[in-house]
Amino acid sequence: RSKKTVLSFFHEFSLIWHNKKLSLFFVASIIFSLGNSSDAFLILRAKNLGLTTLMVVLTYVVYNISQTLLATPLGKLSDKIGAKKVFEGGLLIFSLVYFFFGFIKNPIFIWVLFPLYGIYIAATDGVSKAYVAEFITKRESGSYFGLYQSATAVSAFFASWVAGILWYKISPATTFYYGAIMALLAFLMLKFGRLLRKN
């Protein structure tokens, strides 16, 4: 029975991999996840820049409000212009936010960056599933999302491990530059990956 399960898994994986759009999104998501470290690093950075614990909590509340208020409008926008474009926009916002988390010296900018981070969440969380639903079959969905969740979870763990090393061995800013680069690479993969596969 276990042998049959393993063979079934590889068969489903093969079906997914030969779906060009699906496999491209999968690879781009893994690349992004490798740089998407725990949000705890955002909180640490805010404190590192001089915000008090109370102020950090308040900025995180603002982030949650931003995410909640924009989730529905961005979902509707994805229906109009396509989920892929909204998702790509979310990756670019993440890249910019992480870059500036590394670049800024004045903690006042944290009050701008956390709401922007909320926009990234709103633009990618539910939208990513809508994007996949455009070209995935019901038969593939179970295998894909199971594999996707497992792969991104492992990648996110690795991302936090790397982020910790960069934080303590080099500098806190380097942690965020790394995340910004990985998000940008994921964006470029989604944007131009189909051209690479054609060649």
Q: Under a CB-based contact definition with an 8 Å cutoff, are residues 179 and 36 in contact?
A: yes
Q: What is the pLDDT of residues 152-186, one digit of tens each?
A: 889 999 999 999 999 999 999 999 999 999 999 99
Give dist(CA 86, CA 178) in Å, integer: 23
Q: Tell me which amino acid residue 194 is.
A: R
Helix/strand/coil (H, E, C) string of 96-150?
Answer: HHHHHHHHCCCHHHHHHHHHHHHHHHHHHHHHHHHHHHCCCCHHHHHHHHHHHHH
Q: Please tell me the predicted confidence (pLDDT) of residue 87.
A: 92
Q: What is the pLDDT of residues 13-49, one digit of tens each?
A: 666 666 677 788 888 999 999 999 999 999 999 999 9
Short-list 19, 114, 127, 22, CA closest to 82: 127
| Predicted model pTM | 0.88
Q: Which residue has the higher pLDDT, 75 or 147?
A: 75
Helix (H, G, I), strand (E, B) or coil at 47: helix
Q: Under a CB-based contact definition with an 8 Å cutoff, are residues 97 and 113 in contact?
A: yes
Give dist(CA 101, CA 24) in Å, integer: 28
Q: Under a CB-based contact definition with an 8 Å cutoff, are residues 176 and 160 in contact?
A: no
What is the percentage of the chain residues whose pLDDT exceeds 90? 62
Q: Please tell me the predicted confidence (pLDDT) of residue 126.
A: 79
Question: Helix 110-133 vs helix 20-33: angle between axes, to the nearest 10 degrees?
Answer: 160
Number of other residues whose CB lies within 10 A of the CB of residue 77: 17
Domains of the chain in start order, with CATH, are 20-194 (1.20.1250.20)
What is the percentage of the chain residues whose pLDDT exceeds 70? 84
Give dist(CA 181, CA 31) in Å, integer: 10
pLDDT exceeds 90 at position 61: yes
Helix/strand/coil (H, E, C) string of 55-105?
Answer: HHHHHHHHHHHHHHHHHHHHHHHHHHHCHHHHHHHHHHHHHHHHHHHHHCC
